[in-house]
Amino acid sequence: MAAIDAYFIATPAVTPSAVTLKDQWRSWYDQLGFFGTMSDDNYDNARNRRNAFNLANATTPAQVAQVKEVMKTGVSTEQAAGAPDRRDSQGNLPDHPPDLIPLGYKIAGGVGLALILAIVIKKI
């Protein structure tokens, strides 16, 4: 996730739609927080956002074709780890609905429950 964010920071947006996508990235990424950046679903979303930005930033048909080719045939994180490729025929990853309970709240709840159990066990 940090690498994708660094890419967005370093890559100039050259078309109006790329500027919009870059602004949307900044807003989305900044609200994720630490635990949000560790979510596999958010990582898939980030890669799809990067793909959309790259397509919007292409200014010639040759550049668009090159971006599409990389999206479809570039080595994915999963492939680099020896796992199956999860991209669709266009090179994007599956969309996931947002979690009903954010990951940070789940972790905080688990820690709180562990503390309560530790207190109860200590009193026994």
What are 17-64's pLDDT values in tens digits?
Answer: 999 999 999 999 999 888 788 888 899 999 999 999 999 999 999 999
What's the confidence (pLDDT) of residue 100? 72
Rounded mean pLDDT of the chain?
90
Contact status, residue 33 vs residue 53, Cβ threshold 8 Å: no
What's the confidence (pLDDT) of residue 99? 67
pLDDT band (50, 70, 90) for residue 2: very high
Of 25, 8, 17, the residue nearest 56 (C-alpha): 17
Q: Is residue 105 part of a domain?
A: no
Query: CA 119, CA 71: separation in Å to the nearest integer?
Result: 52
Other C-beta atoms closer than 10 Å to the C-beta of 75 total 9
Q: Is residue 13 part of a domain?
A: yes
pLDDT at 90 over 80: yes
Q: Is residue 122 part of a domain?
A: no
Q: Is residue 116 part of a domain?
A: no
Q: How many domains does the chain have?
A: 1
Q: Is residue 111 part of a domain?
A: no
Quote the domain boundaries for residue 22. Answer: 2-99
